[in-house]
Chains A and B, each alone.
Chain A
Amino acid sequence: MAFPIFAGMTSGRIILTSERFGLTIERLCQQLIEQYDGFENTCLVGIQTGGVALGNRFKRRLQELLGMTSLEYGKLDITFYRDDFRRRAKPLAPSVTEMNFLVEDKHVVLLDDVLYTGRTIQAALTALNHFGRPRSVALLVMVDRRFNRHLPIEPDYVGIVVDALDEAYVQVEWQEVEGEDRILLFADK
């Protein structure tokens, strides 16, 4: 049987479909509630840009589940904290940082879409310190590429684990942005 070729079909392989994606988000939300209860003194911080799409979703869903409207949520841009500035061919464009609160003495859940080398998280931890000294920081990622780490950084909450070669590329797509929730694996970057 031949597969029909859809317009816009990519060469990537879908490793998490829309239905499973929803389930994963739901599970992670429940895990967070299990740990943080009513989210008193706890805030979500999404790392620009992938972590912000994730953070937006979590904020909305957690507020629904908890029946509250005041979940503290910040967007953190780490461009100026990257350790590869002047080492890569082209600089990256900064995104907005929206942190309207201090993290001083709070529990922080840091969110990012893909955990790969761990360097983004290292930069984010430095950046986060500039908004106060958090009581604790936990890391939630949608995808953990556990065999590609450069630094001793591990996630606390994981959507799916992807074991892939260095040259592979994982893309998380969002309904709000790309039109569908799904995760794709590409053989090359």
Chain B
Amino acid sequence: MSVVQQLSTKHLLGIKYLTPQDIQLIFETADSFKEVLNRPIKKVPSLRDLTIVNLFFEDSTRTRISFELAEKRLSADVLNFSASSSSVKKGETLLDTVNNILSMKVDMVVMRHPAPGAPHFLAKHIDANIINAGDGTHEHPTQALLDAFSIREKLGDLRGKKVAIFGDILHSRVALSNIFCLQKLGAEVKVCGPPTLIPKHIHQLGVGVEHEVRKTLQWCEVANILRIQLERQDIKYFPSLREYSQYFGINKPLLDRLDKPIVIMHPGPINRGVEITSDVADSEHSIILQQVENGVAVRMAVLYLLAAKS
């Protein structure tokens, strides 16, 4: 039993604020939780005296279920809140909503919100630990952690690995968090997509920019394919989904032409036939379902380590 370092932060607002040591610590703890999840009884009593609220101001399936499962596997009491069925509709402010919930003695807040920076705002005003489960087009730290954890599981240490992120980089919080996380772990990152969906100054983050799918696939060891976020697109960024899929979709013939192994990832939800075809999503290259499985272990690690900080 050795004493470990703790996380350097009380909240998980974004990967930007984590150190590489923090990320390693999360991974090592997640390894232990992954073992727990393979036991007949997949539950440990670590957080039995904690209450956690899942505040979802935006729709979610995977992240929400994954967080809820992680919380329950750690024996925390869980409250679920979704904006669509709450007093937010009646005009309550975010801070009022959260303060009301916290006055009922809640210890941690997991929040998804359409406004970038919403969890940062909360962190300034309340005492509870806050975990960002996605804030607008800004960050989605736990997704990036589970993506990097899945790559580490498949290929080992991330140092020097080549990872390409395909698709709608402009509207994606997964892309930004992934870029921060992969770079902190020493991987090389390129983004690939139509020029309209790639932020203008993204090269300042130290990532390569490509517009040719075939060339990028040939370069990378891991291809992380993102969804076209139509719900965030207020103007037309490309002529049609059909054309997008023709030029930027990842399909079997493209992979067959590669002379090397490749790992295919997707944070979900998948639009089959748009950014990725079914035969690729379900192929032996794909670790999409492992990503989901690892999500629970990684979120358990984050919750556990943050709880230790409170």
Residues of A within 8 A of B (CB): 48-49, 77, 79-82, 85-86, 90-97, 99, 102, 126-127, 129-132
The reply to whether A132 and B40 contact each other, CB–CB distance below 8 Å, is yes
The reply to whether A81 and B44 contact each other, CB–CB distance below 8 Å, is yes
- B235 at the A interface (CB under 8 A): no
The size class of the interface chain B forms with chain A is 20 to 34
The smallest beta-carbon distance between B76 and chain A, in angstroms, is 12
The contact sample of 11 A-B pairs, CB cut-off 8 A, is A79-B1, A80-B45, A82-B46, A85-B308, A91-B4, A91-B6, A91-B305, A94-B29, A126-B45, A130-B39, A131-B39
Other A-B pairs, 11, CB within 8 Å; known A85-B46, A85-B47, A97-B36: A48-B1, A80-B36, A90-B308, A91-B6, A93-B1, A93-B3, A95-B1, A127-B44, A130-B44, A131-B39, A131-B40
Q: Which residues of A contact B43 (CB under 8 A)?
A: 130
Q: Specify which of B1, B6, B44 lies most central, judged by the most chain A CB atoms within 10 Å of its CB.
A: B1
Instruction: Report Cα–Cα, A126/B44, bound state, in Å.
Output: 9
Q: Which residue of B lies closest to A95 (CB)?
A: B1
The smallest beta-carbon distance between A130 and chain B, in angstroms, is 4
Q: Which residues of B contact A85 (CB under 8 A)?
A: 46-47, 307-308
- B104 at the A interface (CB under 8 A): no
- Contact with A86, one of B4, B32, B36, B308 (Cβ below 8 angstroms): B308
- Contact with B45, one of A77, A81, A90, A95 (Cβ below 8 angstroms): A81
Q: Which residues of B contact A97 (CB under 8 A)?
A: 32, 35-36
Q: Which residues of A contact B41 (CB under 8 A)?
A: 129-131
The reply to whether A86 and B2 contact each other, CB–CB distance below 8 Å, is no
The smallest beta-carbon distance between A120 and chain B, in angstroms, is 9
Q: Which residues of A contact B44 (CB under 8 A)?
A: 80-81, 127, 130
Q: Specify which of A49, A80, A99, A126 lies most central, judged by the most chain B CB atoms within 10 Å of its CB.
A: A80
- B246 at the A interface (CB under 8 A): no
- B21 at the A interface (CB under 8 A): no
Instruction: Report Cα–Cα, A96/B39, bound state, in Å.
Output: 13
Q: Which residue of B lies closest to A48 (CB)?
A: B1
Instruction: Report Cα–Cα, A127/B45, bound state, in Å.
Output: 9
Q: Which residue of A lies closest to B43 (CB)?
A: A130
Residues B35-86 near A (CB distance < 8 A): 35-36, 39-41, 43-47, 49, 74
Contact flag A94-B305 (CB < 8 Å), given A81-B45, A130-B39: no
- B9 at the A interface (CB under 8 A): no
The reply to whether A92 and B4 contact each other, CB–CB distance below 8 Å, is yes
Q: Which residue of A lies closest to B74 (CB)?
A: A80
- Contact with B1, one of A92, A102, A127, A131 (Cβ below 8 angstroms): A92
- B93 at the A interface (CB under 8 A): no
Q: Which residues of A contact B304 (CB under 8 A)?
A: 80, 91
Instruction: Report Cα–Cα, A97/B35, bound state, in Å.
Output: 7
Q: Which residues of B contact A91 (CB under 8 A)?
A: 3-4, 6, 304-305, 308
- Contact with B4, one of A90, A96, A129 (Cβ below 8 angstroms): A90
Q: Mark B8-33, 1 if CB is under 8 A from A, else 0.
A: 00000000000000000000110011
The smallest beta-carbon distance between A19 and chain B, in angstroms, is 29
Q: Which residues of B contact A126 (CB under 8 A)?
A: 45
The reply to whether B310 and A86 contact each other, CB–CB distance below 8 Å, is yes
The smallest beta-carbon distance between B300 and chain A, in angstroms, is 9
The reply to whether B3 and A92 contact each other, CB–CB distance below 8 Å, is yes
Q: Which residues of A contact B74 (CB under 8 A)?
A: 80
The reply to whether B308 and A79 contact each other, CB–CB distance below 8 Å, is no
The smallest beta-carbon distance between B16 and chain A, in angstroms, is 24
Q: Which residues of B contact A102 (CB under 8 A)?
A: 40
Closest 3 CB pairs of A and B: A80-B44, A93-B4, A130-B41
Instruction: Report Cα–Cα, A28/B2, bound state, in Å.
Output: 28
- Contact with B46, one of A80, A129, A132 (Cβ below 8 angstroms): A80
Q: Which residues of B contact A92 (CB under 8 A)?
A: 1-4
Instruction: Report Cα–Cα, A98/B204, bound state, in Å.
Output: 46
The reply to whether B6 and A77 contact each other, CB–CB distance below 8 Å, is no
Q: Which residue of A lies closest to B307 (CB)?
A: A86
Q: Which residues of A contact B308 (CB under 8 A)?
A: 85-86, 90-91
The reply to whether A80 and B32 contact each other, CB–CB distance below 8 Å, is yes
Instruction: Report Cα–Cα, A101/B4, bound state, in Å.
Output: 29
Q: Which residues of B contact A130 (CB under 8 A)?
A: 39-41, 43-44
The smallest beta-carbon distance between B214 and chain A, in angstroms, is 43
Q: Which residues of A contact B35 (CB under 8 A)?
A: 96-97
Q: Which residues of A contact B2 (CB under 8 A)?
A: 92-93
The smallest beta-carbon distance between B139 and chain A, in angstroms, is 25
The smallest beta-carbon distance between A167 and chain B, in angstroms, is 19
